[in-house]
């Protein structure tokens, strides 16, 4: 348990914005600071990625800040959960008093998202993977899904429940990209265009603009600010692999150790969690993460999520914004997991609000199951 709290959280414009990355970053940050009752002049710590070679420096320059502490660890979608841990350490060590963690992307309106990606020369990926012309990252996640279904005997229809549940949550969230698209059925998922077997378009996250920011400060200071403080109770991380060539088992991820460390630090068990935000880059990501976090055993996730368990009104409210599958996916979704977790704990989510939520967990995944980070958040009684 830490002595640091999140005091502000906000999104920038989402969907198709036709705005620059820095404009979206500035939106997210100024909105989060307004939510916290703070100003840019209060910020002395900045953590971000996605704005060039020196992200925090460039963003600080754009905002007119010269922070005394910065963090730009590039770990893909888990970076922002990792940054929360780093921010806590900085605040507790007296290296910063108010830290903003942020990310934004205009990948849809700028048409900057490309399949295949950039593979550095002389790496294992360049030598042993790229010659086969894989779709990066989809084909890798598809291999994990194929191995999982083959090993444990699950079906594509069972896996589709992840996408169906996400859409039900999105229908309750006016900010969701698919809010007006109507319900998604299992048959819709199965008959959508195949991208990389066994994953169809509906098994894959959105490609949108968007982003968000959270503001952290000491718990003592947080208690004097307008909004209910959301305390950082614990965090954990693991980095496991870059190349898939070196992965012995595609169905085992570092989420297990990251979550275990976070839960131990927070002093909680799975039974204490009221709402769960899990990176859903693909439907298989959620299934493997639930198993790694201990909610069920290996091969049991598809049975575990059946019967509406992760849908609205279910026993385990999961990805209550609609997730990366139906709400927003700006390339790195981890920041928005935190924003939704904070809002749920404050009781600000309207029709999708989980009643009496006091403990929330956000878990980010980066790369090809490469980086994993878990943050446990809670509110005081």
Measured CA to CA, the distance from residue 279 to residue 319 in angstroms comes to 8
Catalytic residue, chosen from 140, 141, 235, 279, is: 279
- Is 279 among the catalytic positions? yes
| Alpha carbon distance 88, 222 (integer Å) | 13
Alpha-carbon gap, residue 100 to 241, rounded angstroms: 28
By DSSP bridging, strand 98-105 and strand 359-366 are unpaired
How far is the C-alpha of 351 from the C-alpha of 184, rounded, in Å? 19
What is the rounded CA–CA span in Å between residue 290 and residue 20? 35
Distance CA 56, CA 70 (A): 6
Could you give the CA distance from residue 186 to residue 380 in angstroms, rounded to a whole number?
A: 40
H helices of the chain, in order, are 21-36, 55-63, 79-92, 124-128, 138-152, 156-170, 186-191, 219-222, 255-266, 283-293, 301-304, 323-326, 334-346
> How many other CB atoms are found less than 10 A from the CB of residue 182?
10
Assess contact for 252 and 275: CB atoms under 8 A: no
Residue 152 annotated as catalytic: no
Q: Which of 80, 141, 148, 327 is catalytic?
A: 327
Positions marked active-site: 279, 327
């Amino acid at each position: 348990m830490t002595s640091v709290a999140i005091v502000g959280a906000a999104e920038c414009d989402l969907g198709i914005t036709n705005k620059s990355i820095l404009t979206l970053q500035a939106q997210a940050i100024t909105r989060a600071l307004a939510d916290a009752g703070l100003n840019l002049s209060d910020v002395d710590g900045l953590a971000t990625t996605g704005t060039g070679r020196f992200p925090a420096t460039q963003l600080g320059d754009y905002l007119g800040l010269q922070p005394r502490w910065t963090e730009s660890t590039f770990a893909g979608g888990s970076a922002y959960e990792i940054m929360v841990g780093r921010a806590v350490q900085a605040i507790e060590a007296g290296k910063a008093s108010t830290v903003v963690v942020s990310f934004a992307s205009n990948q849809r309106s700028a048409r900057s998202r490309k399949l295949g990606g950039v593979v550095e020369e002389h790496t294992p990926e360049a030598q042993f993977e790229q010659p086969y012309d894989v779709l990066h990252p989809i084909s890798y996640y598809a291999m994990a899904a194929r191995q999982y279904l083959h090993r444990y005997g699950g079906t594509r229809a069972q896996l589709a429940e992840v996408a169906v549940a996400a859409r039900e949550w999105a229908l309750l969230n006016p900010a969701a990209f698919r809010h007006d698209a109507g319900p998604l059925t299992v048959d819709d998922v199965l008959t959508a265009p195949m991208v990389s077997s066994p994953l169809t378009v509906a098994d894959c996250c959105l490609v949108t603009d968007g982003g968000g920011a959270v503001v952290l400060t000491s718990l003592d200071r947080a208690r004097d600010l307008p909004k209910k403080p959301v305390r950082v109770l614990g965090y954990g991380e693991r980095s496991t692999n870059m190349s898939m060539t070196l992965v012995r088992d595609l169905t085992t991820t570092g989420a297990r150790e990251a979550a275990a460390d976070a839960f131990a630090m927070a002093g909680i068990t799975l039974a204490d969690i009221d709402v769960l935000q899990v990176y859903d880059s693909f439907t298989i990501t959620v299934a493997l993460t639930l198993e790694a976090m201990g909610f069920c055993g290996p091969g049991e996730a598809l049975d575990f999520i059946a019967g509406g368990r992760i849908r609205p009104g279910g026993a385990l409210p999961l990805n209550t914004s609609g997730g990366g599958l139906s709400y927003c996916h700006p390339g790195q979704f981890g920041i928005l997991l935190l924003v939704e977790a904070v809002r749920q704990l404050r009781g600000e989510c309207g029709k999708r609000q989980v009643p009496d939520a006091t403990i929330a967990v956000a878990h980010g995944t980066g790369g090809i199951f490469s980086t994993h980070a878990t943050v446990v958040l809670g509110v005081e009684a």
